Amino acid sequence: MSIDNIVSHLRYVKDFPIKGIKFVDVTTILKDPKVFAETVDYLYEMYKDKGITKIAAMESRGYWIGSALAYRLGAGLIPVRKPGKLPAATFKEVYAKEYGQDTIEVHQDAFTPDDIVLIHDDILATGGTMKATIDLVKRFSTRKVYCNTLIELTNLPGRSLIPDDVDYTTMLQIDENKLDI
């Protein structure tokens, strides 16, 4: 298993979703079954001994790897969704975005105090969604919270929003300003 092989399968897209953004596309990891498996295996090795009971996968790109990793770890998968997408009673968390606010939700029965939770998403950028998800999970007084992303954009402040009591790991750190695309 090689992080370099996984990294070599990323695609970089200029001016997506808006002009000035250098987008790191992880769908290219998913389309190659060997690289997809290698990515899940890499994360599995990081978390196999942590006692993870649930993975909180963030809408929507966090579902892709999060669900495969949950299966591999023998953990439950908890979808973190935008408002109105979950059918039962939810807890909501409002967070600031660059241009306004957004909201995410989880079911009120998603976690128990006995759970050890891994929050997973594809990319950590400004950190608003990750921080809101951490806040939602902490409402349940779970035993432990871990956070993981495939990629951390180091030129953005995302990591600074992760509380000290939450262990954060990433497979790859990228300074978006240094991408030559």
What is the bridge-based pairing of β-strands 76-80 and 54-58?
Answer: parallel
Annotated catalytic residue: which of 59, 81, 98, 139? 98
Question: Any catalytic annotation for residue 59?
Answer: no
Is 146:50 a contact under the CB 8 Å cutoff? yes
User: What does R_g of the chain's alpha carbons equal in angstroms?
Assistant: 16
What is the bridge-based pairing of β-strands 11-14 and 22-25?
Answer: antiparallel
Terminal C-alpha separation, the chain: 27
Annotated catalytic residue: which of 38, 61, 105, 152? 61
Spatial CB neighbours of 27, under 8 Å, sequence gap ≥ 6: 11
Question: Any catalytic annotation for residue 139?
Answer: no
**Per-residue CA distances from 33 to 10, 25, 60, 94, 156 (Å):** 14, 16, 20, 36, 31
Give me the amino acid identity at 119.
I
Residues belonging to the active site: 61, 98
